[in-house]
Structure 1
């Protein structure tokens, strides 16, 4: 059985929820404290043993390529000032090869993954979506890879959501479970309110076999008028078992404003440089709000 060595990171979305900030800056480059969101995703892939990453970009996303490129002038400046820790941080992605391809038309997540088919070839591969940052002792992608190594089948990362949230996600219809791993009857993309078959939602992490590409290629447009990856996974599941795994870890939704702000606060409170001052400010702010209300 071939190992999972490659990962696709789709980053071609327009980021309309963060306009006007994303008019000139890719949403994947919006900083959480002092690191762009996409850096957390790349770091997870590296820590999971991924050797090659392809980032699927779109128009106006050149800043992503620049971020992961070498900047010799900056590196020399940091080295001359003995700022070794900063130098290490800006070069931490050098342990993996990063490639780029452009999704020329905004046809949806399924199409974005399909754009990387030549890069993947006939190997199993990971997909990591940039809207979900997952903090875990064992990286989420590595948890899924371990499940793939046990089953030899595609594995989709899931977690439980509230009933009122199910219409926002791909949802699984589980048949049976083995600890945290589920056999799945159906994968449903964004079911209408009140029709979801479960509360187990797909959370932006996938290990897929290369057979998925043939289903994406013939996939009709689905929810939102786009080619949905979940719909292609459902077709793959009909001929080749696809499991779901309830991964262990805390997931942060940085694809919407409130989730992005919550993530920033949580990460800032873990930052030794600013956490004490931020904590004092938040306490003061809460007291002020209580007084006014």
Structure 2
């Protein structure tokens, strides 16, 4: 799911990634790292590295921030943890819990809307009441 989110980010021409992670989440960052030994073996055997292209980031474009303890403030604390990296620049938060398909993708549409009207934007997924846990 995180790879799908990163693909959507790239489609929207966002080039810098900040992952706010916690204990036991090193696989997320390692997914985007280069496995030199594996790639050398694949190349040596005549295999294409093209399937790995979507997992690559440019040096310096991926930053991780550690959230030692979630404070129960929803996303607020995670965003706060990334404040030194993000600064005053516009940013997007991705929660890859749901996939939204569209052309262009949701984030590209949101960036277009931001460029037209500015301000804060949020994308939500409408869920039928019968599917909500509180009402089920």
**Structure 1 and Structure 2 fold alike (TM over 0.5):** yes
Count of residues in correspondence between the two structures: 131
Match of 1:123 in 2: 89
Do structure 1's residue 93 and structure 2's residue 36 form an aligned pair?
no
- Identify the structure with the greater strand proportion: 1
Q: CA deviation at 1:95?
A: 4.3
Do structure 1's residue 51 and structure 2's residue 15 form an aligned pair?
yes
Do structure 1's residue 162 and structure 2's residue 128 form an aligned pair?
yes
Structure 1, unaligned runs of 5 or more = 1-36, 169-191, 194-293
Q: What CA distance in whole angstroms lies between the structure 1 residues aligned with 2:57 and 2:25?
A: 22
Q: Does the 8 Å CA contact 1:41/1:128 hold for their aligned counterparts?
A: yes
Q: What CA distance in whole angstroms lies between the structure 1 residues aligned with 2:62 and 2:15?
A: 9
Match of 1:141 in 2: 107
Q: TM-score, normalised on structure 1?
A: 0.42
Runs of 4+ in 1 over 3 A off after TM superposition: none
Q: What CA distance in whole angstroms lies between the structure 1 residues aligned with 2:26 and 2:126?
A: 35
Q: TM-score, normalised on structure 2?
A: 0.86
Q: Deviations over 1:65-97 (max 9, x none)?
A: 21111111111111122221xx12223233451
5 Å-filtered alignment, 1:279-290, equals none
Q: Deviations over 1:139-171 (max 9, x none)?
A: 1111111110010111111233212345x6xxx
Q: Deviations over 1:163-206 (max 9, x none)?
A: 2345x6xxxxxxxxxxxxxxxxxxxxxxx65xxxxxxxxxxxxx
Q: CA deviation at 1:120?
A: 1.0
Q: What CA distance in whole angstroms lies between the structure 2 residues aligned with 1:75 and 1:155?
A: 40
Q: What CA distance in whole angstroms lies between the structure 1 residues aligned with 2:29 and 2:108?
A: 25
Q: What CA distance in whole angstroms lies between the structure 1 residues aligned with 2:17 and 2:28?
A: 13
Match of 1:179 in 2: none
1:125 counterpart SS class = coil
Aligned counterpart in structure 2 of residue 75 of structure 1, from 39, 45, 50: 39
Q: Does the 8 Å CA contact 1:46/1:95 hold for their aligned counterparts?
A: no
Q: How large is the Cα RMSD of the aligned pairs?
A: 1.8
C-alpha change, 1:162 and 1:50, in structure 2 (3 Å) is same
Tell which structure's C-alpha radius of gyration is larger. Answer: 1
Match of 1:3 in 2: none
